[in-house]
Structure 1
């Protein structure tokens, strides 16, 4: 008997409020009596699982908040909504995770597992909470530990092992898996209801991957056919995993302990048990993978927006000077950018060609986005303004895309033990239930523990093997290009190699019933995408008067399933025996990631992704004509395959003194698709701290965790830009009392470390609160005053569309949204830094094309800064932090706080802000096979 059931439906499912008022009290009584009975049955404790060979010596730790249990019955949901109670293991990792923010200064190696889980293989016999033989199978056992409830799956056959992995995944995340397979197909609203957030979410992903069932199946067939024995094994593993998932669905249905969300969304009846939970099939996992790949592993795109900002620059300054100004803001190869590989080697990719060929820049004012939604009825029509992917999806999974990740890895040459140390993990956002789940899998050809995305956990995707650990950060190099296809006959035919060809229309129709949880009435709409050989149509425009459609083509399009082979290799102890094997496995992953590795002797890094080989002269920053001479080399439109840059051209190394990554630039001359990879970047917060540790030597796990935690509380603007700001302000005596007082507070905060920390654990009040408030208010004002006069309104707005001005923790106006944790990835900090240093007469490598602050006059620049500083200092906390559905106006700590965004029915409390990975490992191996 599983220990409990899955969790609940999206934000709109405020479950208890859905019930009629007169039923609430009765419902609690009846449901607790009638539905809680399966929950009171406990699985019998058994002897501890036998640990496989573990070479970490007790020095491997991990954590994923809020907890391993991502499922809840209807009764548990009601108890949570009414009384705030939590199902077992639903929230037990949230407190330790949050506690590091105030506990890290006093950290010791002995205290690390106060804030993390012991990630050793196996479960000691006195820590076994339950054992289970899923579906009565004799070839697999699932053991769960008392502390976290993490499943430790041990199989004697490969099939049984994967069956157990699927069964455990469904026990922990069935509802979330179901949500994601519907998101990946663009069917979320039909499944979970028509709330604005649901509409936006499905539209966001359908626009990027409008797949048919045939497309999903073809991906599986191709992945198997092109990977020999490993491809066949992957398919067998997937089928066994799905059998486990479906066995749990059947068991939970007959036992009536399925996730309560199915009742709340009308798929099951809590009284009669009528209704069904659909079995999972192989194509469901490809739909799931397409969502994850789109969120985290598909760098690039944005060529049309780049073109619009370039045209704005050229309109302002003329073609030659405007292009120079644009390039200086783009910072595609900035000499001052922090690098993951700092050994001086060059890895050219995405460079600006000396003589660009084939560019298809739009005519001014001609660009329109291709409509996606048609035939709205009911609540879809009334909520049309809220249902765009830019707005409605924000606050749900769009924050995960911007969450990114970080890594700190130090070679044994610089550690106290002589063994490498790593602190790393993905920053995938904060959700309830979490997108990632922990597990240990031990079986023939598989030996790993770590995190996997729900529904894709046939292998550990980020974690540890017997004597090595690996992790990843989003890399963002450009694998997406925009083509201008010339139209012929009408708007739905285009020229393909000289032949007028019909676009393919792909549609998904959705309809939903009314819900009382959020007042959503019944509604429906149709999503319609037009596909070409060059990918889906994203925009329409004219180029030189010719009508074109701008299409988006990414190398991973129709290939989301391919990466399964790389993950299979990473889980195979017979394959990965050292850093070169790790790099070889990572080369089989076509998503754009930075991969990091550590064992007892070596560290390593590799940048993955299918980087297309572009035609000579093509500038990947801008749209190009859809003609053979500008296509990817040896591109086959039928399979979307092409020539890709060889592994040797990807940044990678073994045993560099240290590696850091916080989604910064990978290596010299390696261009990412991100704007703002310049002199001030979030990665500097890690690099500065780790560099000091390495220089001092004797690095320990404690010191590296402290470096990560300290960087995770730092305000990047204050640490790396505020010194220049104050230098300009103090370039003449400050006589205004209000400005003087503000400068004093900012300087005191800067001297104290420029961190956003509580006065004491749980105080919910910041030390240096006034200084933080002033900088939060000042930053957007000073950026506008510094740059808008010189750039002009149109160009300033265009560049801001490419790179938002700010991403402070409390900035709901920023790209990540409020209560999301991840901060300071996107902003104008590098521009401000370079411009102010230029105005001050200091040395700047790769400076902006012009001086902007005060038109280049130090005095005028000072006037602009002091004027906006006085304005900012005069704003009240309520004005700076206006409040939202979770916080009162003026509550600074709450405005910054992290919320676990509900994708189910269980809610969790907020935690204080910290800027760190969601899943995180701390590892130091003591020996090797």
Structure 2
């Protein structure tokens, strides 16, 4: 139910314009029945018995009328249930040290099934066969249907109530039409330019995916599409009712879709194909892995140029870290799951000729304000010039300096088996990190109906099933896995008439036939709106499709022109995973750990799945892992020829042979599991360079290993372990000890440096945390040490490695893996104020190198010793010189300030800021490196 700000208050406080809109009748309230009028549905069997909890900030309600948006902007007021989970979530960062099982409810919500009679906030019946009951405290929709269609209809209706605008936004993002829909702001341009090239589908393509699930998925596939249609029917029912009743989201007025006075305008009907477009965005954000092989090839060539082919390959492989023996793994019992290992003699590699690579352009024909967003070709900074020569046009593509295989992986999981808990039952603390947005991308709900019984969260717009949550006697969650399901092919270019091809040719050889590429285009134009004053503009996006995927680069290989293409196994299969989620929601299917893993096998995106009930914990790594041709190296580009295709590859629907379930990392009842987007298991090759000797997964593993060894683990103690890791600086805990050992190998004579070293040592001994002196103080307990580390780390890495690697190779490798991802850093895949931190960085390289210099054991050494060329005294001088430079940096330079913070405000620079996807904004929170949606569960009984 939408709470309406009282009319008298608005007339008294809002501007004259707002009052005019109000009197025009835009804000008629939603008609609902109260608890006094209607009975509350009887809850189903719940084996958690009050020991399950969850939280999802900022709040369940992600929708706001125009008056509520105006009230938020003018007076800071919030719609009901828009931010009521933000405070408890924020408070855990300061309150966790004294946490007990009894006080968990101060920081989490009871996630029991149903709503007690005295806790009912509202009851809505959009059809006779479904009831939507919302609780008073948080406004979470509990949907109970007497028919399956009614249940799914109710889910769609509730989604409209809570996320109508967001769902509309995301279906336009997925179709590459966001700017035409919401305005030409640079952020909107960036979103459509990021996602549409990954999945440039036509309406026919989207419908084919719907038909594929319906016809190829058996009875469950047919049921899934019926459920999807019912969900869309419910969403459309709310769309129509809110439009006629004038209580639709106010963003439709602010973007000119609906006239505030006359109510003229339309919210376009939703279709099942919209869910495919939405799924492509969600999968692209959290469930993909691999790719980036062109940039990997360039860094390999840079290493070979520096050291020669043999030594250069060895050095590159040491940084590549395919199977680092020191990497923390989720499966830690020694079980190996070989995947993507380096072939002894790789076949079909297609490395580009130096200086021949050109990035495929995406945007054309800019007009008006679209020109403002154009990235003009600029000369690279001096440190990048050596790598610039790798590209034919001399201009570095922007994606070269990001981890192209990273995407967004931020979730974590901690599970302990019953053999090590106080109760004898497993305990789990887990959840996905989907970023902090207003409204949140996830939507919390409970679904109860024929064949469906679950509570948790779903991505807005694809919420016909709970995607992460709990069933009657089990709970599950996931983390992004990121294994390599995307490969790069070099297709030989040709001319249909037989002429000499060039790099710009638009035909290619496919199994011996010169085949035209398919040109995909999307033209967007926009005008200024109330919400976005960006001047009118337009541009056209264009990509080429081949049988081997989307063209990303062009180059020559051995002098012959080629196009590099990206082919991912989930392309044209964006929603196939729906069958796996259907199974996870079905209480008759998931009855134990074994059936859970079978359900997870039907999820095609790359995720790590975790399960807990009263008896068992389990883990399964999902994903359509293609079976590659013999001796093909998945880490580098391969020739686009039939001999090097995925086994049984059929381009018609992009299908192939996939590795069997037993070859996916999986386990049942290990003593404990942790995951923070770290390496899955021994032998399972990382899809990127980041899974080395030091990873943020170590912050969890060290703590949970200790808890498990001590025994008696409780929900509170496991939550404490999670939260302590969430406020800890990875560099300070895991790498600073080695740095200080090198520096302390001799006395530090300089008083200023000696003081800095003492501050860093005190911080490390106190736990290397970025925490406040007290709740609400907005001052860190060790502010100087934190500032020094933030300033020092990038200087230290450069001083340690660049002299030995040379500028060209150092630049290439930092392009593959960013040096740092501190909370305050406005760089890396998450950006500033994003919460998630320390996923990507050179901490493992620094740790290995310094241990080698100190003469300590190192497994999987780097190809050479870099700090001081391996000499301890010279290494110490290098570290102290960079420390001198760091100490001299003022706080205003380390934390330069932005739209949220003043320059020099350390605490503010770290804070989490909810990124607005609509008209409502929320207050910022203290930094904590934690999932957005999180469950704490312990089931005392089982069916």
Query: Which TM-score band applies after superposition, normalised by the shorter structure?
Result: over 0.9
Aligned counterpart in structure 1 of residue 110 of structure 2, from 110, 118, 121: 118
**Quick check: 1:724 aligned with 2:716?**
no
**Quick check: 1:204 aligned with 2:185?**
no
Partner residue in 1 for 2:415 = 409
Q: CA deviation at 1:50?
A: 1.4
Q: 1:5 to 1:308 in 2, by over 3 A?
A: farther
Equivalent pair of 1:402/1:822 in contact (CA under 8 Å) = no
Aligned counterpart in structure 2 of residue 871 of structure 1, from 885, 899, 917: 885
Q: Distance in 1 between matches of 2:780 and 2:532?
A: 34
The CA RMSD over aligned residues, in Å, is 1.9
Partner residue in 2 for 1:375 = 365
Q: Distance in 1 between matches of 2:714 and 2:93?
A: 19
Q: CA deviation at 1:47?
A: 3.7
Q: Distance in 2 between matches of 1:373 and 1:898?
A: 32
Aligned counterpart in structure 2 of residue 486 of structure 1, from 478, 483, 492: 492
SS of 1:348's equivalent in the other structure is: strand
Q: CA deviation at 1:678?
A: 1.2
Alignment of 1:668-683 (within 5 A): 668-683=682-697
Equivalent pair of 2:289/2:405 in contact (CA under 8 Å) = no
**Structure 1: 5+ residue runs without aligned partners?**
7-22
Q: Distance in 2 between matches of 1:796 and 1:197?
A: 31
SS of 1:653's equivalent in the other structure is: strand
Partner residue in 1 for 2:810 = 796
Alignment of 1:98-113 (within 5 A): 98-113=90-105
Q: Distance in 1 between matches of 2:711 and 2:885?
A: 46
Q: CA deviation at 1:813?
A: 2.8
Aligned counterpart in structure 1 of residue 542 of structure 2, from 516, 519, 528: 528
SS of 1:133's equivalent in the other structure is: strand
Range with bigger deviation, 673-682 or 579-588: 673-682
Q: Distance in 2 between matches of 1:417 and 1:188?
A: 51
Partner residue in 2 for 1:29 = 19
Residues 338-357 of structure 1 deviation map (CA, whole Å, 9 limit, x = unaligned): 01001111100010000011
Q: CA deviation at 1:286?
A: 0.2
Q: Distance in 1 between matches of 2:3 and 2:459?
A: 20
**Quick check: 1:49 aligned with 2:33?**
no
Q: Distance in 1 between matches of 2:27 and 2:308?
A: 75
Matched length: 906
Q: CA deviation at 1:39?
A: 4.2
Equivalent pair of 1:506/1:529 in contact (CA under 8 Å) = yes
**Quick check: 1:130 aligned with 2:122?**
yes
Partner residue in 1 for 2:237 = 247
Residues 568-620 of structure 1 deviation map (CA, whole Å, 9 limit, x = unaligned): 00000000000010000000000000000000001100000000000111000
Equivalent pair of 2:30/2:242 in contact (CA under 8 Å) = no
**Quick check: 1:893 aligned with 2:907?**
yes
Residues 178-205 of structure 1 deviation map (CA, whole Å, 9 limit, x = unaligned): 0000000000010001111101110111
Partner residue in 2 for 1:86 = 78
Equivalent pair of 2:184/2:532 in contact (CA under 8 Å) = no
Partner residue in 1 for 2:392 = none
Q: What TM-score do you get using the length of structure 2 for normalisation? A: 0.94
Q: 1:294 to 1:428 in 2, by over 3 A?
A: same
Partner residue in 2 for 1:63 = 55
Q: Distance in 2 between matches of 1:251 and 1:471?
A: 35
Residues 741-771 of structure 1 deviation map (CA, whole Å, 9 limit, x = unaligned): 0000000000111100011101111110000
SS of 1:38's equivalent in the other structure is: coil
Aligned counterpart in structure 2 of residue 257 of structure 1, from 221, 224, 247: 247
Q: CA deviation at 1:37?
A: 5.2
Range with bigger deviation, 669-678 or 901-910: 669-678
Partner residue in 2 for 1:581 = 595
Aligned counterpart in structure 1 of residue 28 of structure 2, from 34, 38, 41: 38
Residues 886-917 of structure 1 deviation map (CA, whole Å, 9 limit, x = unaligned): 10000000000000000000010110000000
Partner residue in 2 for 1:305 = 295
Q: Distance in 2 between matches of 1:211 and 1:180?
A: 15
Equivalent pair of 1:3/1:41 in contact (CA under 8 Å) = no
Equivalent pair of 1:403/1:816 in contact (CA under 8 Å) = no
Residues 706-754 of structure 1 deviation map (CA, whole Å, 9 limit, x = unaligned): 0000000000000000000000011111000111000000000001111
Equivalent pair of 2:4/2:27 in contact (CA under 8 Å) = no
Range with bigger deviation, 92-101 or 673-682: 673-682
Aligned counterpart in structure 2 of residue 919 of structure 1, from 923, 933, 938: 933
SS of 1:536's equivalent in the other structure is: strand
Partner residue in 1 for 2:212 = 222
Residues 553-577 of structure 1 deviation map (CA, whole Å, 9 limit, x = unaligned): 0000000111000000000000000
Q: Distance in 1 between matches of 2:460 and 2:530?
A: 29
Aligned counterpart in structure 1 of residue 481 of structure 2, from 466, 475, 494: 475
Q: Distance in 2 between matches of 1:31 and 1:114?
A: 40
Q: CA deviation at 1:232?
A: 1.0
Residues 52-108 of structure 1 deviation map (CA, whole Å, 9 limit, x = unaligned): 110001000011100000000010000000100000000000000000000001111
Aligned counterpart in structure 2 of residue 833 of structure 1, from 822, 847, 869: 847
Q: Distance in 2 between matches of 1:698 and 1:202?
A: 50
Partner residue in 2 for 1:14 = none
Residues 523-575 of structure 1 deviation map (CA, whole Å, 9 limit, x = unaligned): 11111110000001000111111100000000000001110000000000000
Q: CA deviation at 1:40?
A: 8.8
Q: Distance in 2 between matches of 1:746 and 1:625?
A: 51
Equivalent pair of 1:399/1:816 in contact (CA under 8 Å) = no
Equivalent pair of 2:406/2:482 in contact (CA under 8 Å) = no
Equivalent pair of 1:298/1:592 in contact (CA under 8 Å) = yes
SS of 1:402's equivalent in the other structure is: coil
Q: CA deviation at 1:431?
A: 0.4
Aligned counterpart in structure 2 of residue 882 of structure 1, from 896, 900, 909: 896
Equivalent pair of 1:403/1:429 in contact (CA under 8 Å) = no
Q: Distance in 2 between matches of 1:376 and 1:881?
A: 35
SS of 2:541's equivalent in the other structure is: strand
Q: Distance in 2 between matches of 1:41 and 1:614?
A: 57
Equivalent pair of 2:30/2:247 in contact (CA under 8 Å) = no
**Quick check: 1:193 aligned with 2:183?**
yes
Q: Distance in 2 between matches of 1:736 and 1:518?
A: 55
Range with bigger deviation, 41-50 or 531-540: 41-50
Q: Distance in 2 between matches of 1:387 and 1:474?
A: 34
Equivalent pair of 1:485/1:550 in contact (CA under 8 Å) = yes
**Quick check: 1:341 aligned with 2:331?**
yes
Q: CA deviation at 1:408?
A: 0.1
Alignment of 1:490-505 (within 5 A): 490=501, 491-505=505-519
**Quick check: 1:287 aligned with 2:277?**
yes
Q: CA deviation at 1:383?
A: 2.0
Equivalent pair of 2:24/2:261 in contact (CA under 8 Å) = no
Partner residue in 1 for 2:391 = none
SS of 2:844's equivalent in the other structure is: helix
Alignment of 1:390-429 (within 5 A): 401-429=407-435
Alignment of 1:854-869 (within 5 A): 854-869=868-883
Equivalent pair of 1:339/1:666 in contact (CA under 8 Å) = yes
Residues 294-320 of structure 1 deviation map (CA, whole Å, 9 limit, x = unaligned): 111111101001000000000000000
SS of 2:506's equivalent in the other structure is: strand
Alignment of 1:836-855 (within 5 A): 836-855=850-869
**Quick check: 1:772 aligned with 2:786?**
yes
